[in-house]
Amino acid sequence: MISPMSRIRSAKRVNAFADSVFGEMTRLAKLHNAVNLSQGFPDFDAPVAVKEAACASIRDEQNQYAPPYGTKALREAIAGDFTARYGVPVIADEQVTVCCGSTEAMMAVMMGCIDPGDEVIVFEPFYENYGPDAVMAGAQPKFVRLRAPDWTFDPDELKRAFSNRTRAIVINSPNNPTGKVFTRAELEVIASLCLQWDVLAISDEIYERIVFDGRPHVPMASLPGMADRTVTTSGLSKTYSVTGWRIGWAIAPASLTGGIRKIHDFLTVAAPTPFMDAGVVALSMPPESYVRLAADYQSKRDLMLDILARHGFTAYRPGGAYYVIADVEQFGFATDTEFAQYLVKEIGVATVPGSSFYIDPASAPMTVRFCFSKKNETLIEADRRLGKLPR
């Protein structure tokens, strides 16, 4: 037994972090045989051509390290796709770094572009990694609230968050967990503050293809003056239903790419070669497939909203991504975590407590997040089980 006084103990930096709530809720879903609407991954198949491309690459012995920053073919495909859709010029060799998922890309960007002592502005509720990522980079996260029902921010509150210490701001649109799609006007407010204070925008656009009701996705890098001060992260996971492949990327100004690449190389060397090869095939899918993807998700959103309304939840209609936030105060539990525990154990539906997306859970509204990236039959089974909720 190692004594508690021993120096054989976890580093201080990890004490600040809780365990990831997503993995924990998926574990509880399995334990209680619940319908898993917690962690954000699809339970339906990935596109056949994309899977075949990965298998072909493995059979073709593409099983060794790829170039650290990603295969040339994938980097060119990422650059070409971004330029074609958004009109922003991207030079693959100078600006694109492929990482092990956009999660690693975000970490590599923070470590590569932020110094200890800097502040990083993060909108709250936030995807849980951003806080720990900033802390691991030695920076201090500073939170600005998005408020229901439309999850917009107060421009004055945002203005007050900027100072000479601010090095970067993290934007995630379409947003996890709220489904908010930032409007061009909102992005312009953020952009003008970035320009005023000489701040980097780190824009997580992993749900860029999942937008509803004819809304456009506006990339931060496409706003005037922002291409030189924006790092965009995205990846294959959500668009091609391959969250386990861990292929993500950062598109950065050339002046920041070197630093991001160094961090990425020392963290993971390179992303998996066969999945990068499959990524080239994925990115060449015809435009109609993305129209179908967004339409399919929109109908799942509508089904989810209908289910939640019938079971007495007040839900906030998402404009994109594949999550819905719903109020749970009316069920009479002390916290949303307690309600989520009850829901997974007694009702058989796993969700993520909304307070886990806030730095101070006690100050968060009482909500849970439902993921609707599921087969309709899965959502219908959740519907049946939610019928057991007392009314």
Q: By C-alpha distance, which of 216, 209, 189, 210 is closest to 201?
A: 189
DSSP 8-state class, residue 66: P
User: Of 20 and 183, which CB lies nearer to ligand GLN in the complex structure?
Assistant: 20
What is the distance between the alpha carbons of residues 104 and 59, in angstroms, rounded to a whole number? 27
43 binds ligand GLN (CB under 6 A): no
CB of 82 to ligand GLN, least distance (A): 21
36 binds ligand GLN (CB under 6 A): no
Question: Is residue 140 classed as helix, strand or coil in its secondary structure?
Answer: strand
CB 279 within 8 A of CB 49: no
User: Of 39 and 273, which CB lies nearer to ligand GLN in the complex structure?
Assistant: 39
**Chain residue at closest Cβ approach to ligand GLN:** 40
What is the distance between the alpha carbons of residues 316 and 281, in angstroms, rounded to a whole number? 36
CB of 237 to ligand GLN, least distance (A): 8
CB 96 within 8 A of CB 250: yes
User: Of 23 and 216, which CB lies nearer to ligand GLN in the complex structure?
Assistant: 23
Element holding 35 (H helix, E strand):
strand 35-36
User: Of 39 and 222, which CB lies nearer to ligand GLN in the complex structure?
Assistant: 39
CB neighbourhood size of 25 (10 A): 26
User: Of 106 and 227, which CB lies nearer to ligand GLN in the complex structure?
Assistant: 106
39 binds ligand GLN (CB under 6 A): yes
Overall size of the chain counted in residues: 391
- Tell me whether the omega of the peptide bond preceding residue 177 falls within 30 degrees of 0, making it cis: yes
User: Of 251 and 350, which CB lies nearer to ligand GLN in the complex structure?
Assistant: 350
Half-sphere exposure of residue 105: CA atoms within 13 angstroms, side-chain side: 32
102 binds ligand GLN (CB under 6 A): no
CB of 177 to ligand GLN, least distance (A): 7
CB 29 within 8 A of CB 36: yes
Which residue type does 66 have? A
CB of 20 to ligand GLN, least distance (A): 5
User: Of 20 and 341, which CB lies nearer to ligand GLN in the complex structure?
Assistant: 20
User: Of 23 and 117, which CB lies nearer to ligand GLN in the complex structure?
Assistant: 23
- Tell me whether the omega of the peptide bond preceding residue 149 falls within 30 degrees of 0, making it cis: yes
Strands 119-124 and 349-350, sheet pairing? unpaired
CB of 105 to ligand GLN, least distance (A): 13
40 binds ligand GLN (CB under 6 A): yes
Complete DSSP assignment for 2-21: --TTSS-S--HHHHTPPPPH
What is the distance between the alpha carbons of residues 64 and 78, in angstroms, rounded to a whole number? 22
CB of 245 to ligand GLN, least distance (A): 13
What is the distance between the alpha carbons of residues 249 and 246, in angstroms, rounded to a whole number? 10
24 binds ligand GLN (CB under 6 A): no
User: Of 41 and 69, which CB lies nearer to ligand GLN in the complex structure?
Assistant: 41
62 binds ligand GLN (CB under 6 A): no
CB neighbourhood size of 255 (10 A): 11
User: Of 20 and 298, which CB lies nearer to ligand GLN in the complex structure?
Assistant: 20
User: Of 66 and 293, which CB lies nearer to ligand GLN in the complex structure?
Assistant: 293
CB of 23 to ligand GLN, least distance (A): 6
Q: Single out the segment in contact with ligand GLN by CB under 6 A; choices: 15-23, 59-67, 157-165, 359-367.
A: 15-23
172 binds ligand GLN (CB under 6 A): no
- # chain residues binding ligand GLN, by CB under 6 A: 6
CB of 40 to ligand GLN, least distance (A): 3
Element holding 27 (H helix, E strand):
helix 21-31
176 binds ligand GLN (CB under 6 A): yes
20 binds ligand GLN (CB under 6 A): yes
351 binds ligand GLN (CB under 6 A): no
Question: Is residue 179 classed as helix, strand or coil in its secondary structure?
Answer: coil
Strands 367-371 and 35-36, sheet pairing? unpaired
CB of 174 to ligand GLN, least distance (A): 12
22 binds ligand GLN (CB under 6 A): yes
Which residues here bind ligand GLN, judged by CB under 6 A? 20, 22-23, 39-40, 176
